[in-house]
Amino acid sequence: MKRAKLYYTNKGYSYIKVTNQDCFDWGGLAICDNCNENMKEDIYLIFILGRALCEKCFKEWCERSKRYEEDLKLQKTNHIRWYKNYGFDVIED
């Protein structure tokens, strides 16, 4: 299990940063789930979306996403296990 630092967007949504090798390791193709571009570094894995995004799409999502308390509640109870399913032991500060 790899260790990953848990980050939060300014709306409160968690994410971790992964590499394309990490994507291959979990059986992914390292293709952005929003724009279908190939990704190398700076891949953002986001629980609440259930998606891996490139840096550009991640930034766009950060701009337009809204903070929903129900989503944050769901995140709180499920995200650690979800990241674990992708092979990451997340570290919360």
| Residue ranges in contact with Zn ion by CB under 5 A | 32, 34-35, 54, 57
Count Cβ atoms below 10 Å from residue 48 Cβ, excluding itself: 21
Report the nearest approach of Zn ion to the CB of residue 71 (Å): 21
CB 72 within 8 A of CB 12: yes
Query: Which residue, 25 or 37, is less far from Zn ion as judged by CB?
Result: 37
Q: Which two tokens stand for residue 9?
A: 């967007």
Report the nearest approach of Zn ion to the CB of residue 43 (Å): 10
Query: Which residue, 34 or 65, is less far from Zn ion as judged by CB?
Result: 34
